[in-house]
Amino acid sequence: MAETKFQTIVDVPQFLWQTGYKKKNLFMGSCFTENVGAKMEALKYPVDINPFGILYNPLSVANGLQILLDEKQFGSSDLVEHNGLWHSFSHHGRFSNIEKDVALDEINSRIVNSATFLKEADFLYITFGTAWIYRYKKDGELVSNCHKIPAREFVRERLSVQQILDVYRQLLTKLWEFNPKLKVVFTVSPIRHWKDGAVENQRSKATLILAVDQLVQEFGSEKCAYFPSYEIVMDELRDYRFYAEDMLHISEVAIKHIWERFAEALIDAESLALSKEVVKITNAVKHRPINKNSIEFSKFLLSFLKKTGDLEKRFPYLNLKLEKEYFNTQIEDLGSGDETIVS
């Protein structure tokens, strides 16, 4: 009797290279990029996630990368004020602030740090969310975020495949001159931009997929590749139980599934095994005992401090500094407390 199949499985191509704890990973793009990047960050992989905040369209991502290449520093003329906040059209609202100088300091310090990270990075993950862009009518400037400024002050247009290619052919060449070892992994976000409408959302996603396919073909699999996150959601997870309550964003279960497919394809075996040990350490940091002054909790802290130290000795490239500081601080607090540790 033939096996009954209840799911179509997306074939993830064999990549010529893999990342891991010895590699640096820069993520840029839509909120889907943050989901995957956050998984790596939680497992203590070396990552830098969205130095400009969430960026949805290819030109905004390209603009951010060019700023890092130029190590541009923002000034007062680069900000706009709206509703009591100072904003940058190149950044997500998380960088906005009521104080202009504070906003500029946060923007510029992040650029300096991320430019250095990009220079040393082994992998760059770019996630495109939409082919639609907005330009500020006053000066024609591309905006990554409208910051709740009235829509009438912007012009909206959909990029063509050719427009994306023209920008990224030049940008990728500059990136590899800046960092020759950099591997670029493109993805297209499975999150639908429903405000565009069902038909326009599909046309937008199709534009992004075709542009990425052309770039990968032109530059070759030794330098760049495509990870099919969009296709995994559309085919493997073709059910609304894998979506959040808004029926547009994907659920934690779906994110976990995509992460597992991603890790299987793009993370080396040694790092996957090591991550299981790292999870034990990070879970120990989250542990909250019923009786913080008990001997059992003291032994628990000492045990995990030792495990953390042992891991760092065996894998010197692993960064568990924060976890080690946590265990040491907790142990010191127990030792200096007024209450006697009881069993």
Which string of DSSP letters, residue by residue, matches 86-122? EEETTS-GGG-BSSHHHHHHHHHHHHHHHHHHHHH-S
Q: Give the model's confidence band at 292: pLDDT under 50 very low, under 70 low, under 90 confident, else very high.
A: confident
Alpha carbons 143 and 194: distance in angstroms, whole number: 20
pLDDT band at 5 (very low <50, low <70, confident <90, very high): low
Q: Is the pLDDT of residue 308 over 70?
A: yes
pLDDT in tens, 39-84: 999 999 999 999 999 999 999 999 999 999 999 999 999 999 999 9
Q: What is the pLDDT of residues 11-42, one digit of tens each?
A: 998 899 999 999 999 999 998 789 999 999 99
Q: Residue 340: which pLDDT band, with cuts at 50, 70 and 90?
A: very low
**Residue 342, pLDDT score:** 34
Query: pLDDT grade, residue 339 (50/70/90)?
Result: very low
Q: Give this prediction's pTM.
A: 0.93
Exposure on the CB side of residue 261, measured as CA atoms within 13 A: 19
Q: What is the pLDDT of residues 158-204, one digit of tens each?
A: 999 999 999 999 999 999 999 999 999 999 999 988 888 889 999 99
Residue bearing the bigger pLDDT, 51 or 290:
51
Report the alpha-carbon distance of residue 45 to residue 17 in Å, rounded.
17
Using CA atoms, how far apart are residues 144 and 123, in angstroms rounded to an integer?
23
Out of 3.40.50.970, 3.40.50.1110, 3.40.250.10, 3.40.50.920, the CATH code matching 25-267 is 3.40.50.1110
Q: CA 30, CA 54: separation in Å to the nearest integer?
A: 5
Q: Where are the domains of the chain?
A: 25-267, 274-336
